[in-house]
Structure 1
Amino acid sequence: MEQFEPDRLSTAQLAAMRRSLTSGRGALTRRSLLRASGVGALTLGGLSTLSACGIPPAKRAGTGEQAASDDHSDREKEINFSNWTEYMDTSDDEKTRPTLDAFTKRTGIKVKYTEDINDNVEFFGKIRPQLAAGQDTGRDLIVVTDWLAARIIRLGWAQKLDPALLPHAFANLSPQFRSPDWDPGRSYSYPWTGISTVIAYNSKATDGKKVDSVTQLLDDPTLKGRVGFLTEMRDSVGMTLLDQGKDPASFTTADFDGAIGRLQKGVDSKQIRRFTGNDYTADLDKGDIAACLAWAGDIIQLQAGNPDIKYAIPAAGYITSSDNMLVPAHARHKANAEKLMDYYYELPVAAQLAAYISYVCPVEGVKEDLAKIDPALADNTLIVPDKAMTAKSHAFRSLTGEEETAYEEKFTKLIGA
């Protein structure tokens, strides 16, 4: 299949883009409006209240229980693509999107690209009525975080993908992301990017002390009142489980409660300053937060403007999640969407996207192409994990509806949301 060689962005251009992401609007990174779950959403009529709201699960596409949607891809050369903000490469003047433009030039397929996802729960609220009613959402491709992708797939509201249209995705998907428990073999989804949860610290605020464990965050008296954890349950609890020697992929309710109790002690003793979304970045940059749990993409962007920002991978390991491309049930342009999904697994295209957004690239073998854009990015294991870092990666297991409700309620009480 033809390979696309995108217009190369110079190192200087990329550096300017990264600087812009850490100043002014730059504090508003891809995750600025909360990374994932919208804490308390389940108690506000969120995901696990579907049956209580009288919305039954749709019958799963591809099983013969739900009629396949008519695909208009041959007649209508278009795609409606919904994504998060700051999650696509743009030109210096932000008037064009180079990789999308090149896709259209090659295929003739026009992409209506909309950054209308600010929070998973909020977005799900937009599309749930149409999905539940068996209607087209007006979107052919969406990007949602793994726990929501799992729910949409489980409800039968995602279309099964055609492997024949995804040769690059199948060949180049990193083994780390190849078979999540919620979509074994990636029958319904492919990752847009990976999200690593690490420990970040401001070395000036810690007087040069390295901070590299959750135990240190919760017990070091020199950090008291200057520690941050995340409002995303799976990250804060997952990292605490790892620190306690538990596996986030197979923990029990007793393990979960133990992690909550450990964090509660940190709240009660005022060791923890607060639980945050992306807004930890400003406090960490200033030193008001000395150390915290953080998302790797944010740290890369912060480091571009502040050499005091450091990160550490705990010896116990770290949590990895992903944002994933799905084709919603009844989308009009499934084949076109699959072609676009596959396009972002071509190595030069994947490299250009990774250079811009600075999150974990899920495409195996991208390092050489990324080095042509910026050698420093190619050597950054927060973007291209090496074997040692990959070995420390852990995924938070899928939850049942009952677990999700119970665990979110406990976590919401912990953080006072």
Structure 2
Amino acid sequence: MKKLLLGLVAILLVVGALFGTQQYLAAQTGSDTSSDKVLNLYNWGDYLDPDLMTKFTKETGYKISYETFDSNEAMYTKIKQGGTSYDLTVPSDYMIQKMKRENLLLPLDHSKLTGLKNYDPRFMNLSFDRHNKYSLPYFWGTLGIIYNDKYVNGKDIQHWDDLWSPKFKNQIMLVDSARDALAVALITQHKSVNDKSTADLAAAQAKLEAMMPNVKAVIADEIKMYMAQNEAGIAVTYSGEAAEAIDNNPHLHYVVPSEGSNLWFDNIVMPKTAKHKAAAYAFLNFMSEPKNAAQNAEYIGYATPNAKAKALLPKAVRNDHQFYPDDQTISRLQVYDDLGQAWTEKYNDAFLEFKMSHH
């Protein structure tokens, strides 16, 4: 009988996975998901150490119902539709601005937050959320260049302009993202990554198109796998993806060009529809504890904004300038602003035209 029951549980687990949520299971086990002992968390895939979920439940009594998304836009659409009342979600900087503007977020009561002093002040009170009225930083990172020393001499690829060098013909993998690709071109032309000039955008598009002979592919998540498998000499992607690829291939290195790049944040926010506020504050405080934030950073591989947690990381990690750049480099990094609908479409169109010129 036990075997049969286990089989049934396995089937339920599969069904639960198919529905992308553990709420189905919770309903089966008799714990009502609308009860107050649950936290409905909507997060990126593989973006929280499962051991911390267990520890959180053990410490607080709140079970986590965990659902995942793979893009800011998908998350935004689901929250705007309002079908599920999530207690917390984790948008990036520009998306927090947009959600705030559209009145989709609740302000955080700072008197209920116990770990605010643990965060690095450089990552607080930023343009997309002044005084952290709506969000707490979760992870941060950069856009940069991965290169493989089997094919490329590191000296030849320290700056964005190097990507246009004829010696890199058909060697570059470019992340499939309008903002990031155009940011690279805009920075080489000494413009802001939030530029709203038609002439500057056209010039950036033309500059990107001039890189085309060097572009092997424009792809998304597969970059880290291809780079780990020595498929290309160079890739433009995010620091966390780079960290994962480097873990799997000692020939890879990550560079954040000193002339500037994108600095991005994923912060935790409380959607307007949140039903379990006590659970949400408990989670925010739990994740602000240095020990927990450090454990999560080690598991995920992205940079922690929690200064006390960073101090607990192995020396090799916290002194690694690839992933914790020095102050001088950080001072030249730019955060994306929400460009608004019209300009977002212009950036997307410019990037699409660039991609079509690939054929």
Whichever residue aligns with residue 217 of structure 1, its letter is L
1:94-243 aligned within 5 A: 97-114=50-67, 116-130=68-82, 137-168=84-115, 170-206=116-152, 210-218=156-164, 220-243=165-188
For residues 231 and 330 of structure 2, the distance between their equivalents in structure 1, rounded to whole angstroms, comes to: 31
Partner of 2:340: 400
For residues 356 and 254 of structure 1, the distance between their equivalents in structure 2, rounded to whole angstroms, comes to: 44
Partner of 1:335: 278
Which of 248, 253, 277 pairs up with 2:220? 277
For residues 231 and 312 of structure 2, the distance between their equivalents in structure 1, rounded to whole angstroms, comes to: 38
Deviations 1:109-142 (A, max 9, x none): 222223x212222333333222xxxxx6231111
Q: Does 1:361 align with 2:280?
A: no
Structure 2, unpaired ranges of 5+:
1-34
Contact 1:203/1:210 (CA < 8 Å) preserved in 2? no
Structure 1, unpaired ranges of 5+:
1-74, 90-96, 131-135
Return the offset for 1:189. Answer: 1.4
Q: Does 1:299 align with 2:254?
A: no
Partner of 2:317: 377
Deviations 1:290-343 (A, max 9, x none): 112121112222222211101222121221112221111121012321221232
For residues 247 and 123 of structure 1, the distance between their equivalents in structure 2, rounded to whole angstroms, comes to: 27
Contact 1:245/1:316 (CA < 8 Å) preserved in 2? no
Which of 387, 390, 407 pairs up with 2:330? 390
3-state DSSP class of the match of 1:124? helix
The structure-2 alpha-carbon separation of the partners of 1:312 and 1:384, relative to structure 1 and needing over 3 Å to count, comes to closer
TM-score by length of 2: 0.83
Contact 1:192/1:322 (CA < 8 Å) preserved in 2? yes
The structure-2 alpha-carbon separation of the partners of 1:166 and 1:258, relative to structure 1 and needing over 3 Å to count, comes to farther
Count of residues in correspondence between the two structures: 325
3-state DSSP class of the match of 1:86? coil
For residues 335 and 270 of structure 2, the distance between their equivalents in structure 1, rounded to whole angstroms, comes to: 23
Which of 40, 46, 52 pairs up with 1:80? 40
Deviations 1:345-380 (A, max 9, x none): 221111111111111211123232113xxx322222
The structure-2 alpha-carbon separation of the partners of 1:107 and 1:382, relative to structure 1 and needing over 3 Å to count, comes to farther
Deviations 1:54-110 (A, max 9, x none): xxxxxxxxxxxxxxxxxxxxx713211111112111xxxxxxx22222222222222
TM-score by length of 1: 0.72
Greater helix share, structure number: 2
The structure-2 alpha-carbon separation of the partners of 1:394 and 1:284, relative to structure 1 and needing over 3 Å to count, comes to same
CA RMSD of aligned residues (A): 2.4
Query: Could you tell me the percent identity over the aligned residues?
Result: 25
For residues 203 and 121 of structure 2, the distance between their equivalents in structure 1, rounded to whole angstroms, comes to: 31
Contact 1:197/1:319 (CA < 8 Å) preserved in 2? yes
Whichever residue aligns with residue 247 of structure 2, its letter is A
For residues 278 and 318 of structure 1, the distance between their equivalents in structure 2, rounded to whole angstroms, comes to: 20
The structure-2 alpha-carbon separation of the partners of 1:358 and 1:382, relative to structure 1 and needing over 3 Å to count, comes to farther
